Amino acid sequence: MAMHDRGGARVVLGTSGTSFDDVIAVARGGARVELSPSALDAMAAARRVIDDLAAGPEPVYGVSTGFGALAVRHITPDLRARLQRNIVRSHAAGLGPPVEREVVRALMFLRLKTVASGHTGVRPEVARAMADLLNAGITPVVHEHGSLGCSGDLAPLAHCALALLGEGEAEGPDGTVRPTLPLLAEHGIAPVELREKEGLALLNGTDGMLGMLIMACADLGRLFTSADITAALTLEALLGTERVLAPDLHALRPHPGQAASASNMRKILAGSGLTGHHQDDAPRVQDAYSVRCAPQVAGAGRDTLAHARTVGERELAAAVDNPVVIDGRVESNGNFHGAPLGYVLDFLAIAAADLASITERRTDRLLDRNRSHGLPPFLAQDAGVDSGLMIAQYTQAALVGELKRLAAPASADSIPSSAMQEDHVSMGWSAARKLRTAVEGLTRVVAIELFAATRALDLRDGLGAGASGAGAGPAARAVVAAARAAGVRGAGEDRFLAPDLAAAEAFVRSGALVTAAESATGPLI
């Protein structure tokens, strides 16, 4: 098990996996990586198995044969170092823009996690070099396109392995992209000379898609709570009823995510003088679906996220390689196939798109004078002269449209490769890449609802709340105050709107929205 020393920003890898927190600490926080004595012993023992097989006459895949469709050729000992070097060079065939630094660091750390398991046959000195690269802040350049998510994330991992050889390009700790060899020299890291099986073992894992899943889970966990907050603020601004959030109603349909979202919304609305006036000036029997069903939709997303976390935790406990060293023997397998990850990555993109869709519908309701129960058109100060938030909703709708396109599954696709040896692939890397884009889009959609709802609450304070004349509750007031302090300006005449939207996005992305709400409610789920 990996141990995470938060005080010293240190993660120690053992033989039995790691945790979500460890991955995020290394990928995003720059935590130092170390190898435990048990991991070093396990790697040395597995290496002895590989060395024994390499000395024998029988061909063994990855040790003394070619790769993929070329596995039929037996490779003589004098060519094996070249074989391992060549697989790295030839597979480092990515194309397109570089992927984010945090993705590459997660990719490197997760491959090292599997190497440390003692099931790959990689020598301890290679594992130490992998850790040294991470600790030096050297990040290989990995390109957007190149992985089919089967036989692992081959091209992305090959670009990382290439850096161990002192080849290719990498980003230094100062953020500058340079040739890798001088970067290694500056940090006292010697290039690695690969031996039997090591080149293959450095490429054959689901590490890229897993790293992106873990980071998406962290981001979406925050976003589901943020969406509960903005949904509650909108309900409040629309003078809706909080009675639909009662625990006994949600117990009738016992989905845990739904109960969690309803609980969050109840906490946000506690003490509000605005809720419950849906029968006053513009009577309505019940609120619209986008308001009334907010816990059901966000809750379904929460349950999807819980399932994705379970899959991610299982994958973190895995040792994905082919072949693997197990009980003193080497066996081929198909554990590198990314289907389990591809499915949940796609599932999360669907959940993100639907949450964005219902969020946009609430925003539109706040802006429509025919449905906003007394708020001015588009929340404008002088409608007609001012357009208010009319085009902010256009931006939100454009984002939702993109999120719906990103919800189309990548994992349902498969393009055969390697002369039909690899005739079914997962496209898990593609699913992960589009999920990252979806998470960014959802953040912006939630931010626009926040902007609209806080402005509407400002206006309610000016207009009065209806029959009671009471105002927003403590949580809403805390959020509005924090948003204003963060540069999300309130109601007023038309102005350059993009800076407000950018400030709202940063407010949501940083977690400041959740922190502000919790200052009044206590911990939210």
Give residues with Cβ within 8 angstroms of 354, minimum separation 6: 297, 300, 301, 407
pLDDT tens readout for residues 329-385: 999 999 999 999 999 999 999 999 999 999 999 999 999 999 999 999 999 999 999
Can 289 be counted among the known catalytic residues?
no
Evaluate if residue 3 carries a pLDDT over 50: no
- Coil/strand/helix, residue 495: coil
Evaluate if residue 445 carries a pLDDT over 70: yes
For residues 309 and 278, the model is more confident at: 309
The number of helices, as runs of H, and strands, as runs of E, in the chain is 19, 10
Average predicted confidence (pLDDT) for the chain: 94
Which percentage of the chain shows pLDDT scores above 90? 86
For residue 251, the model assigns a pLDDT of 98
Mean pLDDT, residues 39-52 taken together: 96
Residue 149 banded pLDDT, cuts 50, 70, 90: very high
Strands (E), 279-354: 324-326, 329-331
Evaluate if residue 465 carries a pLDDT over 50: no
pLDDT tens readout for residues 133-146: 999 999 999 999 99
The CATH superfamily assigned to 3-205 is Fumarase/aspartase (N-terminal domain) (1.10.275.10)
Topology of the domain comprising 212-321+334-415+425-521: Fumarase C; Chain A, domain 2 (1.20.200)
Q: What is the Cα–Cα distance from 157 to 160, expressed in whole angstroms?
A: 5
pLDDT tens readout for residues 78-121: 899 999 999 999 999 999 999 999 999 999 999 999 999 999 99
Per-domain residue ranges for the chain? 3-205, 212-321+334-415+425-521
Evaluate if residue 170 carries a pLDDT over 70: yes
Cβ atoms < 10 Å from Cβ of 292: 15
For residue 281, the model assigns a pLDDT of 61
Evaluate if residue 302 carries a pLDDT over 70: yes
pLDDT tens readout for residues 200-251: 999 999 999 999 999 999 999 999 999 999 999 999 999 999 999 999 999 9
Mean pLDDT, residues 318-339 taken together: 93
Evaluate if residue 422 carries a pLDDT over 90: no
For residue 314, the model assigns a pLDDT of 97
Query: For the purposes of burial, counting CB atoms within 10 Å of the CB of 7, is it exposed (0-12), middle (13-18) or buried (19 or more)?
Result: exposed
For residues 471 and 215, the model is more confident at: 215
Mean pLDDT, residues 504-511 taken together: 98
For residues 224 and 70, the model is more confident at: 224
pLDDT tens readout for residues 190-203: 999 999 999 999 99
Tell me how far the alpha carbon of residue 250 is from its chain's centroid: 29
Cβ atoms < 10 Å from Cβ of 420: 8
Evaluate if residue 4 carries a pLDDT over 60: no
Q: Provide the whole-model pTM.
A: 0.95
For residue 1, the model assigns a pLDDT of 41
Cβ atoms < 10 Å from Cβ of 339: 18
Residue 61 banded pLDDT, cuts 50, 70, 90: confident
Among the ranges given (4-8, 33-37, 138-142, 397-401), the one the predictor scored with the smallest mean pLDDT: 4-8
pLDDT tens readout for residues 120-132: 999 999 999 999 9
